[in-house]
A and B are shown apart, each in its own frame.
Chain A
Amino acid sequence: MLTLSNVAKTFEDGLLALDQINLDVSAGEIVVVIGGSGCGKSTLLRVIAGLESATHGGVFVAGHPVTGPGADVGVVFQEPRLMPWLTVEENVRFGLASFSSDEAKSLANEALARVGLSQFAEALPRQLSGGMAQRAAIARALVVKPPVLLLDEPFSALDAFTRLDLQEHLLDLWGWYRPTLLVVTHDIEEALTLADRIVVMEGQPGRIAAEVAIDLARPRTRGDSTFNESRETVLAELSDARPLEALGTTGVAPTR
Chain B
Amino acid sequence: MTNVTLTPRRPVEAPGEAPPGATPDKPGRGVSRRFKSALGLLIPATLVVVWEVGALAGVISTRSLPPPSQIGQTILDLARAGDLGNHALATLGRVWWGFLLGVTVATMLGAASGVSPLFKRLFDPTLQALRSIPSIAWIPLFILWFGIFETPKVLLIAFGVFFPVYLTLEGAIANVDRKLVEVGRIYRFSTFALIRRILLPASLPTYIIGLRGGLGLGWMFVVAAEFMGASNGFGYLLIDGQMTSRPAIIIASIVLFAVCGKLSDLALATLGSRLISWQDGYSPGET
Bound pair: A and B?
yes
Interface size on B, as a range, is 10 to 19
Taking the complex as formed, is B93 at the interface, i.e. its CB lies under 8 A from any CB of chain A?
no
Taking the complex as formed, is B208 at the interface, i.e. its CB lies under 8 A from any CB of chain A?
no
A254 to B20, CA, bound (A): 61
Q: Which residue of A lies closest to B185 (CB)?
A: A69
A79 to B179, CA, bound (A): 9
Q: Shortest Cβ distance from B30 into chain A, in angstroms?
A: 26
Residue contact A85 to B204, C-beta cutoff 8 Å? yes
Taking the complex as formed, is B10 at the interface, i.e. its CB lies under 8 A from any CB of chain A?
no
Binary flags per residue of A48-91, CB closer than 8 Å to B gives 1, else 0: 01010000000000000000111100010101010111100000
List of A residues within 8 angstroms of B187 by Cβ:
69, 94-95, 97
Q: Shortest Cβ distance from B280 into chain A, in angstroms?
A: 4
Residue contact B198 to A51, C-beta cutoff 8 Å? no
Interface residues of B (CB under 8 A from A): 179-180, 182-183, 185-188, 193, 197-198, 201-202, 204, 276, 278-280
A86 to B202, CA, bound (A): 11
Residue contact B186 to A51, C-beta cutoff 8 Å? yes
Q: Shortest Cβ distance from B172 into chain A, in angstroms?
A: 14
Residue contact B188 to A68, C-beta cutoff 8 Å? yes
Taking the complex as formed, is A222 at the interface, i.e. its CB lies under 8 A from any CB of chain B?
no
Question: Contact check: which of A81, A85, A95, A97 meets B179 at CB < 8 Å?
Answer: A81
Residue contact A126 to B185, C-beta cutoff 8 Å? no
Q: Which residue of A lies closest to B280 (CB)?
A: A126
List of A residues within 8 angstroms of B204 by Cβ:
85
Residue among B179, B183, B185 with most chain A CB within 10 A: B183
A70 to B186, CA, bound (A): 7
List of B residues within 8 angstroms of A121 by Cβ:
none
Residue contact A51 to B280, C-beta cutoff 8 Å? no
Residue contact B193 to A97, C-beta cutoff 8 Å? yes
Q: Shortest Cβ distance from B185 into chain A, in angstroms?
A: 6
Residue contact A77 to B179, C-beta cutoff 8 Å? yes
Question: Contact check: which of B186, B193, B197, B280 meets A49 at CB < 8 Å?
Answer: B186
Q: Which residue of A lies closest to B204 (CB)?
A: A85
Residue among B185, B193, B278 with most chain A CB within 10 A: B278
